[in-house]
Homo-oligomer: A and B are copies of this chain.
Amino acid sequence: ALFTREGIPLEGYYDVLMERGAKSSPDYIRDEILKMNIFNSVFVDCTASANIAEIYGELMAKNISVVTANKIAASSDYENYSYLKDIARKAGVKFLFETNVGAGLPIINTMNSLINSGDKIVKLEAVLSGTLNFIFNTLSEEIPFSKAIEMAVDAQFAEPDPRIDLSGLDVTRKLVILSREAGAVVNQSDVDKKLFIPQKYFDGTLDEFWKNIDEMDASFEERRKELAKEGKKLRFVASYNKGKCEVGLREVESGHPFYDLEGSNNIIMISTERYNEYPMVIKGYGAGASVTAAGVFSDIISIANIR
């Protein structure tokens, strides 16, 4: 890590870091930041680290806003989530994590605006895994399930360990975050998880997973064929309905908003007291470095109150 009040020029940053940087740890980072004591500063977390997420509270307590693409804090135990929200409010700083769900899509902000204007979120239905959507869009007679997973990893839609996506863990985290923003007191354990791959594939090592997962190919191909005949597609859907949270595979037919969801896109349907007969729908890239970076930057900008 490298700390300097003068800022670090983009050009040659790596040399400077190697020359003057110190060995880093969350504690060290926290201490150095607090020591610098810069007015109206923002801590930006682009890691997926649980240890880094643990220092948010101390930073916000010392009037430092937090912008994070890291889902761990907002999907952690409800008590911790609620503690962080409280600290932010008390210290008058922001705790923003728009990119936790749908990358650069304006989902959390939109929900917050609806709620701040006195509306109430009644129901959410969403496809929140670009990886899983890519896989179900890629399945074909030629491309079996195991191959589609490989392609998702190669295209960097999936985590290096694709089981984080396949187990529904990633979607569960996102759903917990959305449900909390909608006002529900929920934990990951409260989500009804309807998985589509037997637990044994998740219990072993990653190598074992890759060796064995093609055992699933035949049954997926059978189901795909059956559905194609009926004009249906598979979608991994997260839903929140009056406090109840569920993730699972759903068969959707032509005409359903999820049917035409291309590539690795995400989609969310937000039903509120005002958007009732027809929900509000937001759709687009839900993953990817550039749109996520833009979303993080947009959160930072909103703290500077430029927009």
Q: Are B284 and A116 in contact (CB under 8 A)?
A: no
Q: Are B301 and A104 in contact (CB under 8 A)?
A: no
20 new A-B pairs (CB below 8 Å) besides A109-B307, A117-B297, A278-B284?
A: A104-B274, A114-B298, A117-B294, A117-B298, A118-B294, A118-B297, A119-B294, A254-B254, A255-B260, A262-B278, A263-B277, A263-B278, A265-B278, A274-B285, A274-B290, A279-B284, A280-B283, A280-B285, A281-B283, A305-B305
In the complex formed, the residue of B with least CB distance to A302 is: B113
Quote the shortest CB–CB distance from A299 to chain B (angstroms).
9
Number of residues in A with C-beta < 8 Å to the partner?
41
In the complex formed, the residue of B with least CB distance to A261 is: B278
A291 close to B (CB within 8 Å) = yes
Q: How far is the CA of A281 from the CA of B281 in the complex (A)?
A: 8
B-side contacts of A116, CB under 8 Å: 297-298, 301, 306-307
Q: Are A275 and B284 in contact (CB under 8 A)?
A: yes
Q: A284 with B284: in contact, given A114-B294, A294-B119 (CB under 8 Å)?
A: no
A168 close to B (CB within 8 Å) = no
Q: Are A291 and B305 in contact (CB under 8 A)?
A: no
Q: Are B278 and A285 in contact (CB under 8 A)?
A: yes
Quote the shortest CB–CB distance from A258 to chain B (angstroms).
12
Interface residues of A (CB under 8 A from B): 104-106, 109-110, 112-114, 116-119, 254-255, 257, 260, 262-263, 265, 274-275, 277-285, 290-291, 294-295, 297-298, 301-302, 305-307
Quote the shortest CB–CB distance from A127 to chain B (angstroms).
13
18 contacts between A and B (CB under 8 A): A104-B117, A106-B106, A106-B110, A109-B113, A116-B306, A117-B297, A117-B298, A117-B301, A119-B294, A254-B254, A262-B278, A275-B291, A280-B282, A281-B282, A281-B283, A282-B282, A282-B283, A305-B305
